[in-house]
Structure 1
Amino acid sequence: MANFDLNLLPIALAIFEERSVSAAARKLDMSQPAVSMALNKLRSALGDPLFVKTGRGMQPTPRACTLIDPTREILQRVHAEVLASEQFTPATTTKRFVLALSDIGELMLLPRLLQRVRDEAPHASVETVTMSPEALVVALESGEVDLAIGYFPDLKNRNFFQQRLFSHDFVCLLRAEHPLLAQEISLDQFLAMGHIVINAEGRDEPMCERFLLRRKIRRRVVLSTSHFMSIPLLIATSDLIATVPRAFGEFVARFSNIRLVEPGFEMPSLDLKQHWHRKYHKDGGNAWLRSLTTALFPTGM
């Protein structure tokens, strides 16, 4: 078996079905000499003539007949289980999709994405997770996490694909009755205030902090917190200020005693992206989920 050429089996099957070397060659899109050479190799390997030329074409010997059913089964399984493309059917899948989302990714994306999943894949489920950058790299590679959506600067190596979904800048939050009444805050006013800073690892706010430090802008930090969702109550009940991604600011301003104030000086902007491991680039379920996410931001807003 170590020296047996399995590529000869489809040729034996074609000769059996066509009862002709030339017809088998046409079926296999091979030259007749190539098929004849392959038949000779097969005869030599098995020690049997296999096909004998008669007035009714190439007739199989008993040894050849014993090859046919196993050969058909082998080739059918190869086509069905090895060569066939993976078929992912949203309507019937029961897959659990796992997403690593930043706060802003969850806020901007999850409600709409979940609705699309429920519409197209009613038996599927969605789970969101938060993990350290190091753990996320491992989870994406293992398939434990399907997509990471948001601001994940650590997912930059060649093993990861990424796609920009939308960009946003930063805005300041004040309570509605704050003494500062202007719609824009100057740098001097910004520096004079007490600040709430979100310091969660791998999130948007540290990027903003680094941007300010590079420009030697140092805020007077009164509170550091790991959670965005505590910000609305903290701002609404104090004279503190928070600098947050615009999407989050616009969201909380709709429901809270909070108003938005535009920075009157340069602030950074960043892209929110979806990231996936190259191992799953061709995976049917992963590709489908990515397409749903992309469709939610068709213009890369």
Structure 2
Amino acid sequence: MWDLDIDLNLLPVVLAVTEERSVSRAAQRLGWTQPKVSIALNKLRASLGDPLFIRTSHGMEPTPRALSLIAPTKDILQRVKSNVLLNEAFDPAATTRKFTFALSDIGEMTFLPKLLAYFEKHAPNASVSSVTLPPNEIANGLESGDVDLACGYFPDLKKRNFFQQRLFPHSFICLLNADHPIKGEQLSMKDFLRLGHAVVRAEGRSQEIFEQLLQKHKIERHVVLSTPHFMSIPFIIASTNLLVTVPYAVGESFARIANIRLIKPPMEIPYFDLKQHWHRKYHKDEANMWVRAVVSKLFGNPQ
């Protein structure tokens, strides 16, 4: 009967001495000193109640008990090597993994087209999932691994368990019907206050930057439409004389699909950084490292 307190770390010594038939050669193979191997053998002998090896003219001959340890020891070492020590390299070309991104609808317009084009070429068997979650649920999703990356403006993800990487700066732009009587490249404050506004009250955090700026300067708009959705905005603006202020990337996208044009707001609006965020648990995960590198490559801007 084996002693339940046996030190399994000592079993490779039995294997090494059996195959080398020498304590000194076993020590060289293990990278140990000869006294350390001898001490390990003595501990095993005491635990198992067997001499394990007998010194003969042919070297250290294993006893039947020692020989009975060889097969299970090799099996244990192989399992450790295969399941613990080896970290199989991530292959984007072969992976069938689903990558989940926390994105606002603004983020989807900004990130998804380029991401999907890249995946189609470099990770054709992978899939992409986009989720929109409240800030506390994004944190939980990143921690659990249900969300791989949060990309966009997420000022709440500042805890020490989260890493972040700046991608590019962003600001706001106003949109008007392309046939609107107001011309020029920048609105006057008079026109900004006079016109009717469409206001998007979305779950994303970026829009609140502009709202806070208006409150700070005590600027009150004439709000004609309030909506939680961005996607209806280009069609509303194209068919009315309303004005809307949106993140710049959104404005550029809308100008390509509807009869609208971009015009600078009358006030100076500070830039804000769009970032990618991930949980420290997955900082060394190869798949997560790969997708972070992809996002950085596609959207990173060091300026």
8 Å Cα contact 1:198-1:206 kept in structure 2 = no
- Among 64, 78, 81, the residue aligned to 1:79: 81
Could you tell me which amino acid in structure 2 is paired with residue 206 of structure 1?
Answer: E
Matches of 1:169 and 1:234, distance apart in 2? 22
Number of residue-to-residue matches in the alignment: 301
Q: Quote the sequence identity (%).
A: 57
- Among 28, 37, 42, the residue aligned to 2:39: 37
Matches of 1:146 and 1:178, distance apart in 2? 43
8 Å Cα contact 2:96-2:127 kept in structure 1 = yes
8 Å Cα contact 1:173-1:259 kept in structure 2 = yes
Residue 157 of structure 2: SS of its match in structure 1? coil
Matches of 2:236 and 2:76, distance apart in 1? 68
- Among 61, 64, 76, the residue aligned to 1:62: 64
Task: Give the alignment's Cα RMSD to 1 decimal.
Answer: 1.6
- Among 154, 158, 161, the residue aligned to 1:159: 161
Aligned to 1:238: 240
- Among 117, 123, 126, the residue aligned to 2:125: 123
Moved over 6 A (4+): none
Matches of 1:138 and 1:12, distance apart in 2? 47
Aligned to 2:12: 10
Aligned to 2:270: 268
Could you tell me which amino acid in structure 1 is paired with residue 44 of structure 2?
Answer: L
Deviation at 1:60, TM superposition (A): 0.5
Matches of 1:113 and 1:201, distance apart in 2? 22
Deviation at 1:135, TM superposition (A): 2.2
Structure 2: which 5+ residue stretches go unaligned? none
Matches of 1:93 and 1:109, distance apart in 2? 21
Matches of 2:4 and 2:223, distance apart in 1? 72
Spell out the pairing of 1:162-201 with structure 2 (5 A cutoff).
162-201=164-203
Worse-superposed segment, 203-212 or 168-177: 203-212
Aligned to 1:211: 213
Deviations 1:194-247 (A, max 9, x none): 211111123321221112212322322221111111111111122211111111
Matches of 2:19 and 2:228, distance apart in 1? 71
Structure 1 position 107 matched with structure 2 position 115: no
Deviations 1:42-82 (A, max 9, x none): 11111111011111111111000000110010011011101
Residue 238 of structure 1: SS of its match in structure 2? coil
Deviations 1:88-138 (A, max 9, x none): 222222111122212232112211111211222222111212222222222
Matches of 1:64 and 1:241, distance apart in 2? 85
Aligned to 2:93: 91
Matches of 1:30 and 1:132, distance apart in 2? 55
Residue 171 of structure 1: SS of its match in structure 2? strand
Residue 3 of structure 1: SS of its match in structure 2? coil
Deviations 1:6-57 (A, max 9, x none): 1111111111121111111111111111111111111111111101111111
8 Å Cα contact 2:166-2:300 kept in structure 1 = no
Deviation at 1:298, TM superposition (A): 4.2
Deviation at 1:186, TM superposition (A): 2.4
Structure 1 position 202 matched with structure 2 position 209: no
8 Å Cα contact 2:168-2:273 kept in structure 1 = yes
Residue 234 of structure 2: SS of its match in structure 1? helix
Matches of 1:167 and 1:260, distance apart in 2? 18
8 Å Cα contact 1:232-1:252 kept in structure 2 = yes
TM-score for the superposition, normalised by structure 2: 0.94
- Among 50, 53, 59, the residue aligned to 1:51: 53
8 Å Cα contact 1:148-1:276 kept in structure 2 = yes
